[in-house]
Structure 1
Amino acid sequence: MTARGSGLGPIDHVAVVVHDIDASLPRYRELLGLEPDAEVQTMAAQAVRLCFLPTGPSPAARIELIEPTDSESGVARFLASRGEGLHHVCFGTTDLAAELARLGDAGAELVDRVPRPGAEGPVAFVHPRTLSGVLWELLERDSAEQDRRAR
């Protein structure tokens, strides 16, 4: 299933930026009953620590907690200026390059014109000025995974 007129699948995850993942996880466990689906990982290239919290049985959307590891990173600047909260919304796609071209042709302001490595595959971001002040992430998934998540 894709969004009408695009190659985007359903929402993959919603990312929340936090000061400290280890301090935040107990609240997500206590209040929402959510557990990470894997250990907290560090992505040095993005200067973040992160984990994913499934909101239901797979392929349900997930919450991604992200914590900056470098005070000069974009995520750290975001946290300093806006505080903890919503960072981005992510959609899956099977053809990231085609979606970037389609969005660029439609007038979207792209943060990334070419994909970059993400925690689960190639990703690219669309600037918040493009649509309602929200940072949008596109995550490339293979066709089988995208179909599974679309059910």
Structure 2
Amino acid sequence: MKILKIDHLGIAVPNMDEGKKFWADVLGLKVEGSETVEEQKVTTVFLPVGDSEVELLVSTSPDGPIAKFIEKNGGKGGFQHVAFRVENIEEALKELQEKGVALIDKTPRIGAGGAKIAFLHPKATGGVLVEISERN
């Protein structure tokens, strides 16, 4: 598996306007559009930082994964996942399965921006939700 870079850091926020206040208004990062990914029950906003990005995530449903994360976090947002860009996601998933890594996604799905994505289970990563992504 060839990891090319940290693609983005996922930050869960209870409210997108409040979330953008720190990342955009205080730090001065530029918001580059917004996208809702219905399948994942989330709306995302990307803020580029050099060759990587910060991804703000807000739930579109009370039963979505981001809503559940915020509920477990006492109603507050916070660091939700790290995403690594890989050269070939199918090969990466095959290699991870061969190594016995627990996967949430055994096959890629489509995420924000049309990227192919898959998540590794936190029990296999020391408690960190890890995403791998491939972008064209």
TM (norm. structure 1) is 0.83
Matches within 5 A, 1:12-91: 12-38=7-33, 40-56=34-50, 60-82=51-73, 83-91=76-84
Structure 1 portions without partners, runs of 5+ = 1-5, 143-151
User: 1:123 aligned to 2:114?
Assistant: no
What does the per-residue CA deviation read over 1:46-78, in whole Å, with 9 as the maximum and x for residues that have no partner?
Answer: 11011100113xxx2110000001101122111
Flag the structure with higher strand content. Answer: 2
User: 1:107 aligned to 2:100?
Assistant: yes
Assess if the C-alpha contact under 8 Å between 2:120 and 2:130 holds in 1: yes
What does the per-residue CA deviation read over 1:73-122, in whole Å, with 9 as the maximum and x for residues that have no partner?
Answer: 12211111023111110011121111001011112110000111101211
Secondary structure of residue in 2 paired with 1:112: coil
Most deviating of 78-87 and 21-30: 21-30
Q: Equivalent pairs: percent with the same residue?
A: 32
Letter in 2 for 1:108: V
Assess if the C-alpha contact under 8 Å between 2:105 and 2:120 holds in 1: yes
Secondary structure of residue in 2 paired with 1:45: helix
Q: How many residues align?
A: 133
Letter in 2 for 1:20: N
Structure 2 portions without partners, runs of 5+ = none
Letter in 1 for 2:107: V
2-side partners of 1:30 and 1:21: how far apart?
13
1-side partners of 2:70 and 2:19: how far apart?
14
TM (norm. structure 2) is 0.92
User: 1:95 aligned to 2:88?
Assistant: yes
Match of 1:3 in 2: none
